[in-house]
């Protein structure tokens, strides 16, 4: 075995999202979100599952925080449910805010660093009813929400993230209909993406004005590692088209204060970008302390239609990768793609990076000895942590890794069929059982080192 050590001060954690774990959707003054509405739409979610109960984290908060402490987790990335704090998207619900104050204080009492995300997809339904992210008005409401949370919790939270994966909100929520609010119009993806970019900028500026100077601000993007299916020019053009739609739509305005011309050119058939007003692009760009990068699998793109079209596009098509190992979700596994993604982003933008999500689903079960032997997850995590170290060795400024996810949970459109957790949840009894992978990761963190098989 080869021993590889992580940089001094490397940050570690596990992550979750509010709608996926909290439950208690009708309690404490919480209002409905678009995911409450969507999950109750017949046919939207596998087996008709909903997040009504999920992991019941709302009622089991202290026990879950104890479990994080038992696993010696240095940091915990969680999201605030906007409709719990502002049921109508506008008006404070003190009971909802108090829940997150207890969460933050409970983490600090246990020596765990809070990493707070403002928006992990659960828009208040009241705002969706008047246009949602298609409306510029939602940008202002998000800035108000950010200001409130920043004032109330920012003195105890060291890291605040504006948005999680706006790509999913824009494309899966509005172009393909796979996610809430379930709309299917590719042209809608671009005003939504722009309003998310603008909301990020305004929220980050608002946070900076109310939180301590020591607080770190970030945004988390699920950047796509896209390669062409062949060396043919048409395939290379299709891959570039997909990369621009997936990455540049967000990276340009957020990190440079402008959309690259390629964004307008590659989307001209769908939109004229008339919704971008003078000054918007600069407003999207607020200095960040790091960029969060979520990564699960690579993408291969062809100009020939042989699979699903790339979200938000009518010309690029995804290609299956049968030569690579596949997860139970049929996602290809290629750790080296994470290395390439991190080094590419570092080279292009020179921004500190934290891997804020990375993990693998499985059909995990508790055996007769009360263990969950998820060796496939240990292998996945080990290989991808090795890929992070490869990126560090190549010069990328990668400062941390947050595993996805703490608990088995409501996996969006997949319902409860897919388990990403490092802790098993029995969804009948809600009993938690740390998997072998949780103990393995705790050991890696404690030693700040990774043992890897010798390379041939």
Span 272-291, average pLDDT = 98
Name 332's bridge partners: 326
Q: Return the structure tokens found at 317.
A: 């098509």
* Neighbouring C-alpha atoms within 13 Å toward the C-beta of 288: 29
What spatial distance separates the first Cα and last Cα of the chain, rounded to whole Å? Answer: 12
The torsion angle over the Cα atoms of residues 290, 294, 298 and 302, rounded to 10 degrees, is -80
Phi then psi dihedrals of residue 421, to 5 deg: -70, 150
> Does 70 participate in catalysis according to the annotation?
no
pLDDT recorded at residue 161:
99
DSSP 433: E
414 is in an annotated binding site: no
19 is in an annotated binding site: no
State the Cα–Cα distance between residues 39 and 45, nearest whole angstrom. 6
pLDDT recorded at residue 91:
98
Say yes or no to pLDDT of 163 above 70: yes
Cβ atoms < 10 Å from Cβ of 8 = 6
Over residues 347-402, the pLDDT tens digits come to: 999 999 999 999 999 999 999 999 999 999 999 999 999 999 999 999 999 999 99
409 is in an annotated binding site: no
20 is in an annotated binding site: yes
Catalytic residue, from 165, 266, 281, 283: name it. 165
Span 69-84, average pLDDT = 98
pLDDT recorded at residue 456:
62
Whether the pTM exceeds 0.85: the reply is yes
Percent of residues, the chain, with pLDDT higher than 90: 96
Span 161-181, average pLDDT = 98
> Does 152 participate in catalysis according to the annotation?
no
What domains, with CATH codes, occur in the chain? 10-449 (3.20.20.80)
Catalytic residue, from 22, 152, 266, 357: name it. 357
pLDDT recorded at residue 344:
98
Nearest to 110 by CA among 79, 149, 77, 73: 73
State the Cα–Cα distance between residues 78 and 80, nearest whole angstrom. 7
Nearest to 337 by CA among 295, 376, 379: 295
* Mean pLDDT estimate for the chain: 97
3-state SS, residue 75: strand
Say yes or no to pLDDT of 9 above 70: yes
200 is in an annotated binding site: no
Query: Could you tell me the CA-to-CA distances from 456 to 30, 330, 375, 436 in Å, in that order?
Result: 55, 28, 22, 27
Span 139-154, average pLDDT = 98
- Banded pLDDT at 1 (limits 50, 70, 90): confident
Q: Which contacts (CB < 8 Å, 24+ apart) does range 418-422 have?
A: 418/328, 418/329, 418/361, 418/362, 419/361, 419/362, 419/363, 419/364, 420/359, 420/360, 420/361, 421/364, 422/14, 422/359, 422/377
DSSP 398: E
Say yes or no to pLDDT of 452 above 90: no
DSSP 320: -
Q: CA gyration radius for the chain? A: 21
Cβ atoms < 10 Å from Cβ of 99 = 24
164 is in an annotated binding site: yes
331 is in an annotated binding site: no
């Amino acid at each position: 075995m080869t021993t590889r050590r992580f940089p001094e001060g490397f940050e570690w954690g596990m992550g979750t999202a509010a709608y996926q774990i909290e439950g208690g959707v009708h309690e404490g003054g919480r209002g409905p979100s678009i995911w409450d509405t969507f999950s109750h739409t017949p046919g939207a979610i596998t087996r008709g599952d909903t997040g009504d109960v999920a992991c019941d984290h709302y009622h089991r908060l202290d026990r879950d925080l104890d479990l994080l402490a038992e696993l010696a987790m240095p940091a915990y990335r969680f999201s605030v449910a906007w409709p719990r704090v502002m049921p109508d998207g506008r008006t404070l619900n003190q009971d909802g805010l108090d829940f997150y104050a207890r969460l933050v204080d409970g983490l600090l009492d246990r020596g765990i660093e809070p990493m707070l995300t403002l928006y992990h997809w659960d828009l208040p339904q009241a705002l969706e009813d008047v246009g949602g992210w298609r409306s510029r008005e939602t940008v202002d409401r998000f800035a108000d929400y950010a200001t409130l949370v920043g004032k109330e919790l920012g003195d105890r939270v060291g890291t605040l993230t504006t948005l999680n994966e706006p790509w999913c909100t824009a494309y899966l929520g509005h172009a393909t209909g796979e996610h809430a609010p379930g709309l299917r119009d590719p042209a809608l993806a671009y005003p939504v993406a722009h309003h998310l970019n603008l909301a990020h900028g305004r929220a980050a500026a608002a946070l900076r004005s109310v939180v301590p100077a020591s607080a770190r601000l970030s945004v988390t993007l699920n950047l796509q590692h896209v390669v062409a299916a062949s060396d043919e020019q048409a395939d290379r053009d299709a891959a570039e088209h997909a990369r621009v739609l997936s990455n540049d739509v967000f990276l340009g305005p957020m990190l440079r204060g402008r959309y690259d011309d390629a964004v307008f050119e590659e989307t001209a058939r769908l939109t004229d970008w008339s919704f971008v007003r003078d000054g918007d692009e600069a407003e999207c760009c607020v200095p960040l302390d790091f960029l969060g990068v979520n990564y699960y699998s690579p993408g291969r793109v062809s100009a020939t239609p042989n699979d699903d079209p790339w979200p938000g596009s009518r010309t690029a098509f995804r290609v299956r990768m049968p030569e690579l190992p596949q997860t139970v979700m049929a996602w290809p596994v290629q750790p080296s793609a994470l290395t390439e993604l991190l080094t590419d982003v570092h080279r292009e933008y020179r921004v500190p990076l934290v891997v804020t999500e990375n993990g693998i689903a499985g059909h995990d079960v508790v055996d007769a000895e009360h263990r969950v032997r998820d060796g496939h997850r240990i292998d996945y995590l080990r290989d991808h942590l090795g890929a992070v170290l490869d990126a560090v060795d190549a010069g990328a400024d990668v400062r941390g890794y947050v595993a996805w996810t703490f608990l088995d949970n409501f996996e969006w459109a997949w319902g409860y069929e897919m388990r990403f957790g490092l802790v098993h949840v029995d969804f009948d009894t809600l009993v938690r059982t740390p998997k072998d992978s949780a103990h393995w990761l705790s050991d890696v963190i404690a030693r700040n080192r990774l043992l890897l098989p010798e390379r041939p």
